[in-house]
Amino acid sequence: MPLTPVITEHWDAPDLYTIDGYRRFGGYRALQAALQQDPDAIIGTVKDSGLRGRGGAGFPTGMKWGFVPQNDGKAHYLVVNADESEPGACKDIPIMMANPHALVEGVIITSYAIRASHAFIYIRGEVPNAVRKVANAVRQAREAGLIGSNILGSGFDLEVVVHAGAGAYICGEETALLDSLEGYRGQPRLKPPFPAVAGLYASPTVINNVETIANIPYIIDRGVDWFRQFGTEKSPGFKVFAVSGHVNRPGIYEAPLGITMAELLDCAGGMRDGRPVKFWLPGGSSVPMLTAEHLDLPLTYEDMAAAGTMLGTGTPMLFDDTVSVVKAVTRWLEFYKHESCGKCTPCREGTYWITGMLERFEHGTGEPEMLETITSACLQIGGRSFCALGDAAATPYPAAMKFFRDEFIAATSTPVDETFDPVASYVFAGAAAR
Amino acid sequence: MAISEATRGELAELAARYPRPRSAVLPMLHLVQSVEGEVTTDGIHACAEILGITPAEVTAVSTFYTMYKRKPVGTHHIGVCINTMCGLLGGDAVYAALQERLGAGHDQPTADGMFWLERIECQAACTHAPVMTVDWEFMDDVTPASAIDVIDRLERGEVVQSTRGPAIRSFAATERSLAFPDDGLADEGSSVDDKMLAGLRVARERGQAAPAIPSGQEG
């Protein structure tokens, strides 16, 4: 399957991030067309396109928009989730730095469709260069009359606020993001009510991922039939894949959904030094890992689910045979422990105890019966917390045990750094590695 | 120290940016850090007064988010990603080298107060592993040696260019940008590098492209 750059097509144009550069390639044409349509028609187009959310869950975007009660007399809000923090996910930040106007145009069209007059772009604070690029794009769009009152004479008014977070993975969870945006600690809310009914300031709110919103101008401009040429029936469209790890050319690769990992890996120049893929994750640390035998599966929502994992953020991480899976899993659990917001006891306490046990394995002092204890703890967290962080924390270990149980057994007597020389997994060598 | 009238004015300006003022707490605390070098009690009280909430409520927010510090950060914040991808690809060695070079531990300042070292979680740049940040600007694809070189150059007062972004300024300047993000630096430094163009280049080499745009709609 070929690569198909769409969102990334003109990233080598040095001024693409400016409004003039973006317009040179047809930018804001979709907005003009959208403002001449009924908002419901736009929601219908996005529903027909089959676009699914690119933030990880893959929920149908048009359906999400359709949940917002219309003509209810309430203020509606669009909130863009630009809090990209999932380990392995690194595609929204590049989109915002390289092609911020695609996001801004998508924000304006989406706000018009869901009848929102206020949109917020919540960007993680640890990436100021993405924040400033989007803020710059929003100002340019405002100066061009594309944000503000009576946009392009349509009577549609929109204000857009670029909001920087302050360091909390949990704020990528949509209801935690809303609490954070309201000025509170970022802790998830119980659902229902869902944000479409009671979101920001208890008003109907659509929350979409950056890449999802960046798809909208292309769908509106080029049409449903064009969009559905990409991907599969259940996973239509193209995807900004970010391939990382022990590959020769890590980076951004945009392709139709349905391309296989093997094909993407070929584009990325294969594994370094011709070493084998030991394990890989299709989209973030929150999805179960796969092995080399799964490289030929199509990267779609449905094929990944059938293989017992998820497409997630669509940002594959590949590790070669120099890496200790025990160490990798321990590090991910340390992350979930650090990022658990503390609201739900199973997640708060479970991530703490699992991490402590895993660290013993990393140091070669794990006890064999602990393996069952960790499994049990994972079962106690998954499905027993408000949000998906708990489920995610309960994911890496069972997946690793499925394929690499022997490595955990070995770590009951031998520190993993003795079995796997850490230096061998570095991407630099010799003097640089000191 | 006491929050100046000018800063109070800017804090109020941030509060006015939102339909409900309390939404501005995060950017307001970033602004406090930009003028105070940390989240100070005076800063918390100023935010609380402007928002009409208690200092305890502002404090509760500030302690939830890792970017807010309760000790002076110093001139430069140094982050090293130690999550699985960066850490195992060499970030662990980078962190160890910086720890030795700076004589500071995790989430601690150096003795001279110039740097603050922090093991950070995933920075959304796994394609560029191992990743370091200086005042939260990207320093991609670092090695222990190149990371130490960055510190050396900052100490000498030399210009250090972010690999994807503007030249390094200071922790305080970045914190101000997070409060007022249209900081006039969007044109400084390139934000697109070889790794972000990797797929585009392969597609061109192989003559691959997206299906043609429907006729009559070409720009």
B63 → chain A, closest CA residue: A185
Contact residues for A18 (Cβ-Cβ < 8 A; gap 6+): A101, A140
pTM given for the model: 0.98
Q: Using one digit for the tens of pLDDT, what is the confidence trace for A245-289?
A: 999 999 999 999 999 999 999 999 999 999 999 999 999 999 999
CA dist A40 → A48, B144, B185 (Å): 12, 55, 39
> Cβ of B57: how many Cβ atoms within 10 Å?
18
Mean pLDDT computed over every residue of chain B: 96
Residues within 8 A of B (CB atoms), A 324-363 only: 327-328, 331-332, 335, 338-339, 341
Residue of A89, A426, A169 lying closest to B92 (CA atoms): A426
Phi, psi for residue A298 in degrees, rounded to 5: -65, 140
- Closest residue of chain B to A92, computed from CA coordinates: B124
Contact B210 A230 (CB under 8 A): yes
Domain ranges, ordered by start, for chain B = 1-72+172-186, 76-169
Q: Does residue B218 carry a pLDDT above 70?
A: no
Check: CB of residue A296 under 8 Å from CB of residue A271. no
Instruction: Note the CATH architecture for domain B76-169.
Output: 3-Layer(aba) Sandwich (3.40)
Q: Determine whether the interchain pair A252/B27 forms a contact, defined as Cβ–Cβ distance below 8 Å.
A: no
Q: Which residues of A touch B183 (CB under 8 A)?
A: 132, 135
A181 touches chain B (CB under 8 A): yes
pLDDT digits (tens, 9 = 90+) for B155-191: 999 999 999 999 999 999 999 999 999 999 999 999 9
Q: What three-state secondary structure class fits A253?
A: strand
Distance CA A334, CA A325 (A): 14
Chain A: nearest CA to B198, how far in angstroms? Answer: 6
Q: How many C-beta atoms lie closer than 10 Å to residue B4's C-beta?
A: 11
Residue A273's CB: how many other CB atoms inside 10 A? 9
Q: Tell me whether residues A285 and B219 touch, CB distance under 8 A.
A: no
pLDDT above 80 (res B77): yes
A334 to chain B: closest CA residue: B83
The reported pLDDT for the residue numbered B219 is 42
Residues lower than pLDDT 70 in chain A: 430-434
Q: Does B215 lie at the interface with A, CB-CB under 8 angstroms?
A: no
Are A132 and B186 in contact (CB < 8 Å)? yes
Cβ under 8 Å to A: B residues 30-49 = 30
In 3D space, the residue among A236, A176, A231, A218 whose CA is nearest the CA of residue A49 turns out to be A236
Q: What is A37-61 written as a DSSP string? A: S-HHHHHHHHHHHT-B-TTTT--BH
The three-state secondary structure class of B115 is strand
* Sheet hosting strand A251-256, strand order edge to edge: A251-256, A238-245, A317-320, A277-281
Q: What percent of chain B has pLDDT over 70?
A: 98
Scanning A5-34 for CB atoms below 8 A from B yields: 5-6, 8-9, 11-12, 14, 17, 24-26, 29
| Pairwise CA distance, residues B5 & B35, whole Å | 12
pLDDT at A170: 97
Asked if A161 and B17 touch (Cβ cutoff 8 Å), the reply is yes
Contact check, Cβ <8 Å, A9/B210: yes
The tens digit of pLDDT for each residue in A370-423 reads: 999 999 999 999 999 999 999 999 999 999 999 999 999 999 999 999 999 999
According to the model, what pLDDT value does residue A173 have?
A: 96
CATH number for region B1-72+172-186: 1.10.10.1590
Q: Is the pLDDT of residue B1 over 60?
A: yes
Q: What is the token pair recorded at A4?
A: 């198909």
Give B 60-89 residues with CB within 8 A of chain A: 60-61, 64-68, 79, 82-85, 87-89
Per CB-CB distance under 8 Å, the chain B contacts of A245 are 85, 89, 126, 129
What is the reported pLDDT for A167?
97
CA angle B85, B91, B96 (to 5 degrees): 150
Please report the residues numbered 389 through 408 in chain A whose beta carbons come closer than 8 angstroms to any beta carbon of chain B: none
Residue A430: per-residue pLDDT:
62
Contact A89 B124 (CB under 8 A): yes
